[in-house]
C-alpha cells in the first residue's frame, strides 16, 4: 500500500520534468518515458513518472554489481515497476513482487543477493518477510523502505537482521548507494569467510605435512640403524675379510647412508621446530671430539670435491653442556655447506677453543663468502 501519500523516489530540485529530460516528451499518467536512454532521476511529484538523461552509475562499472540479483517487493505497482527499471539500468538482474507471499515463492525457487522490501504491505508485512527471508537467504542484503518511520520500527527492523532502513521519499542516488554499500559489505564478508576457510585448509595441510614428515623420519631411522650395524660388522672383518674393491664399496654405502641419516635428522629437527617440540638433552660434550667426528663423516664429500679440511690448532679442553646429537648436526651442516661452496684445491679451516666460560668455534672456507645482504637471513 502507498505510505505517506505517493512516497517514492524523487529527483534533486523542483518536482516536474526531470533535469535534462528531452524536450517534447509527453507526460502520460502512470507511464514511464525513456527519452534518450537510462534515467538521471525519477520524479513522483505529480500524476506521471518522467525519466531523464542517460547516465552511468559508479556501481554499474563494478563487475561485482553488474550481475547482482535484486528482488523488489512493494504492493504499489507504480513504485515497484519504476524501481525495477531503474536498477536494471544500473546493471542489476531485477525481479519484482507485489506482496510478501509472492516474494517468498520467488525466494524458494531462486537465490537473491539483495531484498528491497516495503515495510507496510497487506497480509505479510515487511518485518514478517524479513524474518522468513533471513532463513531462506542468510547471506542476502535486506533493506526495508517505509514512509511511516518510527524509532521502534527502525529498531525492530535492524534487530531482525535488516541491513538498512530507508525512508520514503528518497532519491535514486540514495537507494543506489545503500544497495551498493550493502553489496560491498556482503562481498567483503564472503571474502573474509573464504579466507578463513583457506587458512583452515592450509593449517590442516600443514599439519598433514608435519605428521607425514615425522612419520617418515621415524620410520627411516630403523632401517638405517640396521644398515649401520651390518656395515660395521663387514668393515670390522667379523664376517670375513673383504677385498680392496669390496671394502671401498661398503665404505661408499656407509657414506651414503650417513648422508641420508643427516637429511633425516634435518627433517626431524624441522618438524620439531615447526611444532615447537624441540627437546634438548644436555650433557657435557667435547667440541674437539664432535668436530673430529664431523670431519670423519664428511671425508668422502671433501675428498670428492678435492678440498682439504684442516684444524688451525689442536682442540683441547673445549667443552660445554649441550645436546651432542643436535650439535653434531649443526656442525655437519656448516662444514658440508663450506665444502659445497668451495672449489678444488682450497681449504676449510676449523678452530675451537674455550676461554672465560665460553666456547668458540670457527669454520672458514678459503674460497667464496656469504653475500652481506644475506647475512640477516642467517643471524
DSSP state letters, 152-207: HHHHHHHHTT-SEEEESSEEHHHHHHHHHHHHHHHHHHHHHHHHHHHHHHHHHHHH
Residue 44: other Cβ atoms inside 10 A:
21
What does the block give as the cell for 157?
527492523
Lowest mean pLDDT among 10-24, 77-91, 276-290, 362-376: 10-24
pLDDT at 96 over 90: yes
pLDDT at 20 over 70: no
Q: Considering only CA atoms, which of 277, 281, 282 is closest in space to residue 213?
A: 277
The two beta strands, 69-73 and 114-118, are parallel
Please tell me the predicted confidence (pLDDT) of residue 211: 80
Q: How far apart, in whole angstroms, are the C-alpha atoms of residue 221 and residue 125?
A: 72
Query: How much is the average pLDDT of 175-203?
Result: 92
Q: How far apart, in whole angstroms, are the C-alpha atoms of residue 318 and residue 321?
A: 11
Q: Give the single-character DSSP code of 286.
A: E
Confidence class for position 100, pLDDT limits 50, 70, 90: very high
Cα dihedral 151→153→159→161 (10° resolution): -130
Q: How many CA atoms lie within 13 A of 205 on its CB side?
A: 6
Which class does domain 282-287+304-379 fall in? alpha beta
CATH of 9-170, one of 3.40.50.2300, 3.40.50.720, 3.50.30.30, 3.40.50.1950: 3.40.50.2300
Query: How much is the average pLDDT of 94-112?
Result: 93
Strand partners, 118: 145
Of residues 159 and 174, the one with the higher pLDDT is 174
Please tell me the predicted confidence (pLDDT) of residue 31: 30
Ranges of each domain in the chain: 9-170, 282-287+304-379
pLDDT at 250 over 70: yes
The H-or-E segment that residue 296 falls in is helix 287-297
Confidence class for position 136, pLDDT limits 50, 70, 90: very high
Which of 22-31, 207-216, 301-310 tops mean pLDDT?
301-310
Amino acid at each position: 500500500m502507498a505510505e505517506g501519500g505517493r512516497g517514492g523516489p524523487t529527483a534533486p530540485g523542483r518536482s516536474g520534468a526531470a533535469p535534462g529530460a528531452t524536450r517534447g516528451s509527453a507526460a502520460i499518467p502512470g507511464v514511464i518515458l525513456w527519452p534518450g536512454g537510462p534515467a538521471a532521476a525519477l520524479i513522483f511529484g505529480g500524476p506521471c513518472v518522467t525519466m531523464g538523461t542517460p547516465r552511468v552509475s559508479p556501481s554499474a562499472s563494478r563487475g561485482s554489481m553488474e550481475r547482482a540479483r535484486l528482488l523488489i517487493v512493494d504492493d504499489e505497482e507504480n513504485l515497484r515497476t519504476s524501481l525495477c527499471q531503474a536498477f536494471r539500468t544500473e546493471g542489476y538482474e531485477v525481479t519484482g513482487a507485489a506482496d510478501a507471499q509472492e516474494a517468498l515463492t520467488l525466494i524458494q525457487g531462486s537465490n537473491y543477493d539483495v531484498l528491497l522490501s516495503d515495510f507496510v504491505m497487506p497480509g505479510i508485512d515487511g518485518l514478517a518477510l524479513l524474518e522468513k527471508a533471513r532463513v531462506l537467504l542468510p547471506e542476502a542484503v535486506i533493506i526495508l523502505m517505509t514512509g511511516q518511520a518510527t524509532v521502534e520500527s527502525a529498531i525492530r527492523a535492524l534487530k531482525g537482521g535488516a541491513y538498512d532502513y530507508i525512508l520514503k521519499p528518497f532519491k535514486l542516488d540514495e537507494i543506489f548507494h545503500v544497495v551498493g554499500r550493502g553489496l560491498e559489505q556482503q562481498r567483503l564478508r564472503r571474502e573474509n569467510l573464504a579466507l578463513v576457510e583457506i587458512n583452515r585448509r592450509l593449517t590442516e595441510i600443514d599439519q598433514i605435512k608435519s605428521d607425514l614428515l615425522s612419520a617418515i623420519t621415524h620410520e627411516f631411522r630403523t632401517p638405517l640403524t640396521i644398515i649401520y650395524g651390518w656395515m660395521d660388522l663387514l668393515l670390522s672383518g667379523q664376517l670375513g675379510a673383504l677385498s680392496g674393491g669390496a671394502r671401498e664399496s661398503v665404505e661408499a654405502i656407509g657414506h651414503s647412508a650417513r648422508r641420508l641419516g643427516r637429511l633425516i635428522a634435518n627433517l626431524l629437527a624441522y618438524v620439531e621446530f615447526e611444532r615447537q617440540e624441540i627437546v634438548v638433552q644436555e650433557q657435557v660434550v667435547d667440541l674437539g671430539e664432535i668436530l673430529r667426528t664431523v670431519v670423519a663423516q664428511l671425508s668422502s664429500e671433501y675428498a670428492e670435491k678435492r678440498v682439504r679440511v684442516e684444524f688451525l690448532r689442536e682442540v683441547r679442553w673445549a667443552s660445554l653442556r649441550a645436546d651432542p646429537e643436535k650439535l653434531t648436526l649443526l656442525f655437519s651442516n656448516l662444514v658440508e655447506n663450506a665444502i659445497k661452496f668451495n672449489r678444488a684445491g682450497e681449504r676449510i679451516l676449523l678452530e675451537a677453543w674455550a676461554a672465560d666460560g665460553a666456547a668458540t668455534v670457527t669454520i672458514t672456507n678459503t674460497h667464496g663468502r656469504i653475500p652481506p645482504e644475506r647475512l640477516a637471513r642467517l643471524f
